[in-house]
């Protein structure tokens, strides 16, 4: 619904107000700091599996190496580190494939269903408090979904791409979490020694694998000789690479989040200030990395995990609440994707999944706070520090604590000539997409601008807005995909979307205001007969004028340029 950066903070802004939005964003910032710290902290443990690097498994070598990884990535991000989507995709698929292979090998070599059942003694191993906390740890799987939503602003077709990515993440997470857990507890089962239940997966002693659990599983699959050594080297190298990328992803994530908060005057403007040479948010990168350095220096695996749960559960609870609130506050907005399981209450479709999810994540947060002191002594002060800072900043700036505002940029230098438009909305009606139309619209907004190609699906008045029309909608999405491909070939940044509407003109005007379009570029070259020249939609837009209007007709390709 809202293809923009910020994740749960953005959802809360639309559903509630800036006060709650900042609360969710500040909790999420703690998670990004912990993502950076945790990922960098575990790099040396897996790297120690490689030849000549065994010293990295012990202090102070592991701490120094982890800090070195973080400092290197901070430097590269300030300089402008370009990520390769293909390399990241290759490594992610390789990592997923490796874990699936571990599950398959484990199932063949060590899986023992009887042992799995008999090593569990509910109330003792695990205890009730351990079980409750384990549920909060398992909920960290939501983090992948949060990451997907935070990338929605850069998706070509958010309404299609984001739900598909979330579904893939869900399948992958369930398969890997369950598979790896079952194999791990078969390879390294729970033991009962002197009245204490334990497993080497949770032991960081000389023979434990708390810091590199996947290597522990590899060591106990029954492999030997060169095969075992090769598997250790492979997993160590792959895990090191993945954790290096995860550290970098945390830096990029906190940059996006803080930029979004700063743009909405929830953080001081310095958090969105760019480096004069490299044009990167250097202050944000350095500021939040400083907290990650502290966490790595005084590292404790349990503390890091508990704090991560604290921030994640708060932000996810807010996200669930925002989904429910938007169903009540804005029920008629187009929703590209809906979860099944909705109940109509007072004329509103309330999503049961969000209600259950919100209750679950909130109870998990309560469990973390009650059972683990570091959540109370670090997590709560972090939230208080942020909220007090927010109030002080807003009061000094003379701004309301709850109303949304956007940062006003300072005036450009006298010799700076900026193009008039940055965002163009291009309606698509017919079954043919002309790359020339996208190119013409792109010329108005410059190389850094964004073209929003929107397919308008008229819905007859005798039908409800969400009624059927599957074939028509499938055709529309196919046309949008063609527009995206044509735009990419022409070197244009194209975002796509589909709008169901009774009045196309009104829907386009609303969409233009929602995305902050500077210009609507309406081409009638391939439009239906009713939209040729100055049709009904063009007439409506010219009358309402939500922004500048450019109409390209089929009469010698002339244009009508009308002021907003």
**pLDDT cut 70: percent of the chain above it:** 88
| Average pLDDT value for residue range 82-101 | 78
Who contacts 547 (Cβ-Cβ below 8 Å, separation ≥6)?
425, 512, 513, 517, 518, 519, 520, 564
Give the Å distances, CA to CA, from 412 to 278, 281, 409, 418. Answer: 18, 19, 9, 9
- What are the b/e assignments for 120-138, b being 16+ CB within 10 Å? eeeeebbeeeeebbeebee
E strand or H helix that includes residue 457: strand 450-458
Q: 474-506: buried (b, 16+ CB within 10 Å) or exposed (e) per residue?
A: eebbebbebbbebbeeeebbbbbbbbbbebbbe
Average pLDDT, the chain: 83
Average of pLDDT values for 297-303?
78
Q: Where are the beta strands (DSSP E) in 116-214?
A: 191-193, 196-198
- The string of pLDDT tens digits covering residues 315-361 is 889 999 999 999 999 888 888 888 888 999 988 899 999 999 999 98
Instruction: Assess contact for 394 and 400: CB atoms under 8 A.
Output: yes
378-387, 487-496, 503-512, 516-525: segment of lowest average pLDDT: 487-496
Mean pLDDT of 490-500: 80
Convert the pLDDT of each residue in 243-252 to its tens digit.
Answer: 998 898 888 8
Which carries the bigger pLDDT value, residue 388 or residue 483? 388
pLDDT for position 1: 81
488-505: average pLDDT: 79
Q: What is the pLDDT of residue 235?
A: 93
Averaged pLDDT for residues 500-526: 82
Burial profile 195-228: b = 16 or more Cβ within 10 angstroms, e = fewer: eebebbbeeeeeebbbbbbbbbbbbbbebeeeee
The pLDDT value given to residue 544: 81
Q: What is the pLDDT at residue 417?
A: 47
Any idea of the CA torsion for 321, 324, 328, 333, to the nearest 10 degrees?
110
Cβ neighbours of residue 323 closer than 8 Å, sequence gap 6 or more: 11, 15, 351, 354
Answer for the pair 56, 253: CB distance below 8 angstroms, yes or no.
Answer: no
Q: What is the pLDDT of residues 379-418, one digit of tens each?
A: 999 999 999 999 999 999 888 898 877 545 455 555 544 4
User: Per the structure block, which two tokens stand in for 245?
Assistant: 């990328």
Percent of the chain's residues with pLDDT above 90: 28
Residues 320 and 421: their CA atoms lie apart, in Å, by 36
Whole-number pLDDT of residue 350: 93
User: How many CB atoms lie under 10 A from the CB of residue 53?
Assistant: 16
The whole-number pLDDT of residue 431 equals 60
Mean pLDDT of 474-497: 77
CB atoms within 10 A of CB 36: 29
Question: pLDDT value at position 558?
Answer: 41
Q: Where residue 559 falls among pLDDT bands split at 50, 70, 90?
A: very low
Confidence (pLDDT) at 432: 55
């Amino acid at each position: 619904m809202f293809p923009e950066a910020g994740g749960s903070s953005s959802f809360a802004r639309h559903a509630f107000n800036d006060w709650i939005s900042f609360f969710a964003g500040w909790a999420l910032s703690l998670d990004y700091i912990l993502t950076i710290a945790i990922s960098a902290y575990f790099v040396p443990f897996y790297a120690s599996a490689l030849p000549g690097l065994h010293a990295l498994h012990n202090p102070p070598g592991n701490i120094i190496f982890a800090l070195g990884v973080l400092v290197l990535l901070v430097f590269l991000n300030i300089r402008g580190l370009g990520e390769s989507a293909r390399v990241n995709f290759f490594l992610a698929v390789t990592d997923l494939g490796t874990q699936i292979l571990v599950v398959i090998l484990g199932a063949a070599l060590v899986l023992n269903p009887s042992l799995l059942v008999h090593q569990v003694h509910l109330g003792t191993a695990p205890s009730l408090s351990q079980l409750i906390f384990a549920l909060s740890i398992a909920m960290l799987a939501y983090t992948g979904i949060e990451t997907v939503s935070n990338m929605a602003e850069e998706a070509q077709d958010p309404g299609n791409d984001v739900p598909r990515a979330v579904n893939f993440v869900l399948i992958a997470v369930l398969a890997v979490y369950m598979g790896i857990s079952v194999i791990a507890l078969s390879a390294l089962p729970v033991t009962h020694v002197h009245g204490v239940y334990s497993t080497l997966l949770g032991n960081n002693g000389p023979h434990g694998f708390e810091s590199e659990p996947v290597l522990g599983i590899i060591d106990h699959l029954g492999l030997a000789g060169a095969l075992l050594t090769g598997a250790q080297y492979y997993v160590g190298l792959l895990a090191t690479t993945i954790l290096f990328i995860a550290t970098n992803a945390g830096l990029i994530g906190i940059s996006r989040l803080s930029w979004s908060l700063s743009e909405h005057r929830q953080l001081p403007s310095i958090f969105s200030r760019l480096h004069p040479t490299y044009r990167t948010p250097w202050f944000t990168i350095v500021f939040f990395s400083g907290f990650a350095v502290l966490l790595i220096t005084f590292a404790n695996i349990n503390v890091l995990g508990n704090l991560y749960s604290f921030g994640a559960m708060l932000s996810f609870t807010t996200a669930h609440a925002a989904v429910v609130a938007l169903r009540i506050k804005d029920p008629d907005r187009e929703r590209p994707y809906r979860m099944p399981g909705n109940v109509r209450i007072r004329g509103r479709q309330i999503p049961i999944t969000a209600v259950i999810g919100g209750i679950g994540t909130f109870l998990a947060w309560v469990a973390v706070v009650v059972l683990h002191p570091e959540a109370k002594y670090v997590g709560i002060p972090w939230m208080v520090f942020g909220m007090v800072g927010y109030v002080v900043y807003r009061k000094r700036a003379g701004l309301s604590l709850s109303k949304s505002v956007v940062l006003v940029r300072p005036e450009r230098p006298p010799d700076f000539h900026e193009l008039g438009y940055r965002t163009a909305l291009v309606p698509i009606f017919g079954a043919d997409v002309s790359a020339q139309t996208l190119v013409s619209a792109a010329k108005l907004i410059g190389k850094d601008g964004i073209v929003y190609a929107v397919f308008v699906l008229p819905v007859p008045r005798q039908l409800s807005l969400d009624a059927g029309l599957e074939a028509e909608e499938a055709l529309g999405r196919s046309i949008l995909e063609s527009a995206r491909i044509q735009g990419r070939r022409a070197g244009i940044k194209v975002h796509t979307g589909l709008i169901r509407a009774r009045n196309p003109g009104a829907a386009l005007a609303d969409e233009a205001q929602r995305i902050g379009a500077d210009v609507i570029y309406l081409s009638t070259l391939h439009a239906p007969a009713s939209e040729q020249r100055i049709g009904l939609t063009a007439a409506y837009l010219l009358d309402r004028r939500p922004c500048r209007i450019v109409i390209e007709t089929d009469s010698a390709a002339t244009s009508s340029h009308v002021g907003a």
